[in-house]
Structure 1
């Protein structure tokens, strides 16, 4: 977006014009043609027909060179075997014995007697009583019960009361801890796994397992699995014979060790899977060679799977090396030369050709997007059967490029770029007449119909007709080949029709995109702005009704004149509707909105009045940009007064100036411009002054209107306001004729309708007719008694 904004400021991309230096244009064209060549490159060197498995080969195919073919079956088998050779990965827990003994110590700490709480300061106490030695050595009477409860709740062990009493002694608890250590230490040292059978089975594939330390450190292959113990087996061995009540430390140590035992070799499935996938990917394809001159498939044979793979490899490798690159370079430079010659010819010899930076950006982007879309569609079609492949090839919406370009730019610019894009698209489609002819038919048909499109529904009609035109092209090619009445022609015909429909729908999406991103003003957008329900026009009608009706009349004049001279009638008409929207902010300062009331300019100085009047142009530009009316309309608003002088305030200032003291400059009492740069802007300026002038005519008959039109156009021409736009004297004659015709119809005269006959009663009761004169009503005389009327109508 920043680049587009910079381009808007740098170069105005209006009709005609140089559109930048030749070097920059050539660089852009070369870059775009290089990208286009890369997009259609797969179709350049692949001239050989690629048959699929099951097709009947119409011709024999011999290898023109030595090439290699991937043996997919052997490659797949080797890639399936490679992961089986990768050992599984096991992570070894760090110092599991210490962690287990820490759990045991923490559990035994719970059976100790609670420590007495210190007495708070200030509390009265008696003198401390020193415990007797016999009391200090006495065991805690509640320790045995806490130990029994601990064993049952934490490890589901039911121990005898005597054993619980023995464990209340710290010495016996240490003895139990030593017994547990002696049992678990060798197990953890050798390794404990959740399932030893799976471990041994894994080692059978790769000759061992990979054992890693914490965080992947200390990795190594473990092949001697004899010391590794199965978790369930070890627990059963430690627990020994099941008893109801445990009565000895030896028995308790075994059961407690079984409860505390955990596997310290843990299978790392994620790491194992990653290593096996890497091993499969590392397997190189297995190739076998096809020698030059070897028969790949014979005429009339049904293509087998192996033959189809050979044909595909032969076609992909056709033109390797220098010959392949020469094909790319030839196409790239051919497209570049063709596009450059056509563009320079049009820029110099066709005045409406648009080659500005923004226009080039739009055109090249549009063509590249559709070429990429074509390549994706053809890539999809290559994986389908022959019929659907032909359908996809013709169903590509290439006609959308021509419809969109005609709508956004013009027919002259489209004519320049039509041939290069058609050539590139035809190369991408296989460089056959079967694709080239329908593309020409559909493109020209879509471009022609798009010139009159102004509504969204028109795109559906255009798409339908483009589809029919492309079907006709396919039928002509099939008729030439003698295959019109065969089933082989049905798929391309169906694809061509669908391609036309999709072209219309795609163009319907691309045109608003160009309007939004690149700020183009198309006829479709203009028709939306022409609705009198637009918020700006509604506000103009409410706040400045005189200016609103003036704008509508100007729009009528401009549209007729634009059609007469071949300008953009819709743009000129819509711009006329909005050319005075700046008067919304100070409507009372413009005479058409005063309604015969007080004129605020009577209290203002000429410079201040000039500032107020001329500010409506700047205000109009701001409102147009705020409501995103488009650059074309904004330009016309800024140019619709040119640099004209406000004669009334200029003369008033001169009258009030002191001779020799106060200088009055025409620049201070003129619009800031610029002068009209396009024919549409000039039409709005002329219609604006002509419409205002004819309103002041006392009698608006045809001769007076014609004289006023000629006078105002001559005055504008003499002031040099039309010097920077492309209007000829012939155009001015056509404009004057159109203005006169329309304004004469607007200011037509009417007959003087007599007022209705009134009836009043005579003194004798009879009715007498009388006609009240218009002069009497004009003087405001009251109606006679008994006269029927609507009281205070309009007050």
Structure 2
């Protein structure tokens, strides 16, 4: 029943929202068709003109004299306003007074011997956060009474202070009642000094400043680890932003900027009426002396263009529908495809505007291979080939200067060759510099094709050939530049993890990986090993191995918040879980997945990486602490049963093959590492046991891993582990003797 609910929830999830809406899908293909039609309309359909009052101008009309352009003037005012820097106000919130209040409460409550330990903890949980808010409200009220700041700014202060309020960890509250009066007396001046020092800076983001607290506390005179820890948390709670956005001040500055803008004039012979503008009475009076021809055009060219557009759209529709790509059901990726097509067509149209008889080959400067390169990197190589053919058809029409024929095969052939060269050269790119190399290859292929075409025509001058070849080189470089510039936009806007982005995220110099290495070297080594295992396993079943490897690097980043509570980081020290309640231990261990997701969000890592960090444990059971809790309950004679669900990870279960594989590799690596001198049989048994347990526990119910794929994953993990642990595997006695004999013989020789 549980599995059925999970499957049903997954089905509803996939069908809900615009990303999987059939109507949205239809509209996107309609937009694509309209885009094709509009981009080709000016080249296929003969222009008509109807200059009448209330009509729409179908061509640019030049101004006979200098005229003020009210629209441009207003636009200039808006641009001036947009360039105004945001206004911020720095306030003095006197948080050292807040620190005094905190310690007064600590002394007062700890001194009351009639209050139990548990009640003190509950009091601290309520009183300390309220002290922060009460202090902030008091300061803001004082500012309001003095009239020092405007009301929107005061509201912004209250909002930001509440949004960035620090949440003291649960375990810290349990340590506070054990503080003696001497401890609090020693802690207070240290805490006040640190708060005063930090609050002297301009603080827009309190979290950034709170990161400096541990270093300052460790450099203080406090010697006890408990007092240092509690001071650290209290100081973090007392740190609030003191730099706030002033909406009213910003609007006033923008108003001054608008007032200082001078009127914009349209000079003589500049555009007075743009194509598409409605002819107003004022325009009509100005244009009354202009004679324009009104003609009824034939509808046959429109019908012909419509048929071309339908065929182009059908090519994409049929390919996408029959493919197994995610774009076949994910409207977000279809939208990205439409945007790429739009950008590529826009680039071609832009260069076609400056194409004339003096520079007939300027169309070779257009980055026509831009779309094919982006589709290869972000979507799929085969789809890029289909798009390249479509772009070649569009280019042959858009860059056609011979109105006797609707197509110019030279630009179509050039676009096709350049796009194919781009696809072949970029398909396995793993660095941003590879895009520039691909651009050079596009330029070389384009030069060879253009040179051959001009030689075949045999009537181009050396100057024309030089211009054409120069434009071709420029087009290849422009293609690379635009791809490099647009790629981050698509990666961020659509959550795309391209191979280039994944390679960048795998760099050890990334702040999070550097933090993992320096603060938790044991976890870092574990993550690297998991990455190697997960990548090999994923590639063996056709999943994204690079995503698995990079996701594994970050999957345990949450352990950096409490590193000593995890076994791989406990070197030459006592395990703190030995003296802790199993429920508290479970909360700490489980929290690393949630903490990891929060850290990854803070550093803006893509969602697939965050999903792996969140889902790699699924809803598995923490067996050690579960059984420990049961034993303690039995020993204490507690009749209340220990629920297994209380000792499981909160999930969700793995939603993708990659998340499931990282979870398996994580468990396998930790389990095999715990074995002393593992044998081949032990490794094989351990790997298959872990996979079977997870399968029986329903951890793969929400991802599309098959039994056959799980078997292949097990085989690959075994092969990889055999290579990693080969030097640690003990030989059987007969092989040991044989190996010793061969070694002795080699030494004698």
TM-score range, shorter chain: 0.5 to 0.7
Larger mean CA deviation between 630-639 and 568-577 belongs to: 568-577
Alpha-carbon deviation of 1:437? 2.2
Larger mean CA deviation between 36-45 and 659-668 belongs to: 659-668
Q: Answer yes or no: is 1:389 the counterpart of 2:356.
A: no
Counterpart of 1:740 in structure 2 is 718
Residue 410 to residue 632, structure 1, CA distance change in 2 (3 Å)? farther
Q: Answer yes or no: is 1:330 the counterpart of 2:333.
A: no
The counterpart of 1:282, out of the listed 256, 265, 286, is 286
Write out aligned runs for 1:85-100 (5 A): none
The SS at the match of 2:642 is: coil
The SS at the match of 1:389 is: coil
Alpha-carbon deviation of 1:438? 2.4
Counterpart of 2:35 in structure 1 is 35
Residue 573 to residue 364, structure 1, CA distance change in 2 (3 Å)? same
Q: 2:548 & 2:698 partners in 1: Cα distance?
A: 21
Alpha-carbon deviation of 1:581? 0.5
The SS at the match of 1:23 is: helix
Write out aligned runs for 1:742-757 (5 A): 742-749=720-727
Q: 1:484 & 1:31 partners in 2: Cα distance?
A: 40
Q: 2:507 & 2:542 partners in 1: Cα distance?
A: 23
Counterpart of 2:640 in structure 1 is 662
Write out aligned runs for 1:26-65 (5 A): 26-45=26-45
**Aligned residues of 1:14 and 1:354 also touching (Cα < 8 A):** no
Alpha-carbon deviation of 1:535? 1.7
User: Which structure has the bigger radius of gyration?
Assistant: 1
The counterpart of 1:524, out of the listed 495, 500, 509, is 500
1:719-776: CA deviation from partner (whole Å, max 9, x where unpaired): 2322333334443344333322332333233699xxxxxxxxxxxxxxxxxxxxxxxx
Q: Answer yes or no: is 1:25 the counterpart of 2:25.
A: yes
Larger mean CA deviation between 725-734 and 564-573 belongs to: 725-734
Question: Which TM-score applies when normalising by structure 2?
Answer: 0.58
Write out aligned runs for 1:499-578 (5 A): 499-578=475-554
Counterpart of 1:360 in structure 2 is 334
**Aligned residues of 1:19 and 1:354 also touching (Cα < 8 A):** no
Counterpart of 1:585 in structure 2 is 561
The counterpart of 2:438, out of the listed 447, 457, 462, is 462
Counterpart of 1:613 in structure 2 is 589
Alpha-carbon deviation of 1:400? 1.2
Q: 1:687 & 1:373 partners in 2: Cα distance?
A: 46
Counterpart of 1:682 in structure 2 is 660
The SS at the match of 1:726 is: coil
Counterpart of 1:703 in structure 2 is 681
Alpha-carbon deviation of 1:284? 4.3
**Aligned residues of 2:389 and 2:416 also touching (Cα < 8 A):** no
Larger mean CA deviation between 463-472 and 570-579 belongs to: 463-472
Counterpart of 1:218 in structure 2 is none
The SS at the match of 2:504 is: helix
Alpha-carbon deviation of 1:514? 1.6
Alpha-carbon deviation of 1:498? 3.1
Write out aligned runs for 1:152-551 (5 A): 282=286, 284=288, 320-346=297-323, 350-353=324-327, 355-382=329-356, 384-385=357-358, 388-390=359-361, 392-411=362-381, 413-414=383-384, 417-430=387-400, 431-474=407-450, 492-551=468-527
The SS at the match of 2:653 is: coil
Residue 281 to residue 467, structure 1, CA distance change in 2 (3 Å)? farther
Alpha-carbon deviation of 1:12? 12
Counterpart of 1:174 in structure 2 is none
Alpha-carbon deviation of 1:617? 0.4
**Aligned residues of 2:678 and 2:728 also touching (Cα < 8 A):** no
Residue 633 to residue 424, structure 1, CA distance change in 2 (3 Å)? same
Q: 1:513 & 1:32 partners in 2: Cα distance?
A: 20
| Alignment coverage as a number of residue pairs | 491
1:63-107: CA deviation from partner (whole Å, max 9, x where unpaired): xx9999xxxxxxx9x969xxxxxxxxxxxxxxxxxxxxxxxxxxx
The counterpart of 2:571, out of the listed 595, 598, 619, is 595
**Aligned residues of 1:438 and 1:496 also touching (Cα < 8 A):** no
Residue 13 to residue 344, structure 1, CA distance change in 2 (3 Å)? farther
**Aligned residues of 1:342 and 1:417 also touching (Cα < 8 A):** no
Residue 444 to residue 722, structure 1, CA distance change in 2 (3 Å)? farther
Alpha-carbon deviation of 1:550? 0.5
Counterpart of 1:692 in structure 2 is 670
1:164-194: CA deviation from partner (whole Å, max 9, x where unpaired): xxxxxxxxxxxxxxxxxxxxxxxxxxxxxxx
Give structure 2 stretches of 5+ with no counterpart: 1-9, 52-60, 66-263, 273-281, 401-406, 731-749
**Aligned residues of 2:521 and 2:569 also touching (Cα < 8 A):** yes
Q: 1:687 & 1:594 partners in 2: Cα distance?
A: 21
Q: 1:13 & 1:402 partners in 2: Cα distance?
A: 32
Alpha-carbon deviation of 1:678? 2.0
Q: 2:378 & 2:671 partners in 1: Cα distance?
A: 36
Residue 651 to residue 40, structure 1, CA distance change in 2 (3 Å)? same
1:404-423: CA deviation from partner (whole Å, max 9, x where unpaired): 12222333554565554444
Counterpart of 2:651 in structure 1 is 673
Q: 2:13 & 2:304 partners in 1: Cα distance?
A: 35
The SS at the match of 2:360 is: helix
Q: 2:283 & 2:490 partners in 1: Cα distance?
A: 50
Counterpart of 1:58 in structure 2 is none
**Aligned residues of 2:439 and 2:480 also touching (Cα < 8 A):** yes
Alpha-carbon deviation of 1:699? 1.8
Q: 1:484 & 1:692 partners in 2: Cα distance?
A: 71
Residue 66 to residue 704, structure 1, CA distance change in 2 (3 Å)? closer
The SS at the match of 2:354 is: helix
Q: 2:517 & 2:410 partners in 1: Cα distance?
A: 58
Counterpart of 2:223 in structure 1 is none
Q: Answer yes or no: is 1:713 the counterpart of 2:687.
A: no
Alpha-carbon deviation of 1:440? 2.1
Residue 421 to residue 604, structure 1, CA distance change in 2 (3 Å)? farther
**Aligned residues of 2:45 and 2:302 also touching (Cα < 8 A):** no
**Aligned residues of 2:555 and 2:596 also touching (Cα < 8 A):** yes
**Aligned residues of 1:610 and 1:669 also touching (Cα < 8 A):** yes
**Aligned residues of 2:614 and 2:651 also touching (Cα < 8 A):** yes
Alpha-carbon deviation of 1:564? 3.0
**Aligned residues of 1:675 and 1:722 also touching (Cα < 8 A):** yes
1:363-403: CA deviation from partner (whole Å, max 9, x where unpaired): 21221122112111011013x51xx222x112211211111
The SS at the match of 2:20 is: coil
Counterpart of 1:211 in structure 2 is none
Give structure 1 stretches of 5+ with no counterpart: 1-9, 48-64, 69-75, 81-269, 290-316, 753-795
**Aligned residues of 1:437 and 1:474 also touching (Cα < 8 A):** no
**Aligned residues of 2:656 and 2:704 also touching (Cα < 8 A):** yes
Counterpart of 2:190 in structure 1 is none
The SS at the match of 1:381 is: coil
Q: Which has the higher helix share?
A: 2
**Aligned residues of 2:556 and 2:613 also touching (Cα < 8 A):** yes
Residue 615 to residue 66, structure 1, CA distance change in 2 (3 Å)? closer
Residue 279 to residue 702, structure 1, CA distance change in 2 (3 Å)? closer
1:489-508: CA deviation from partner (whole Å, max 9, x where unpaired): 66555534432232122111
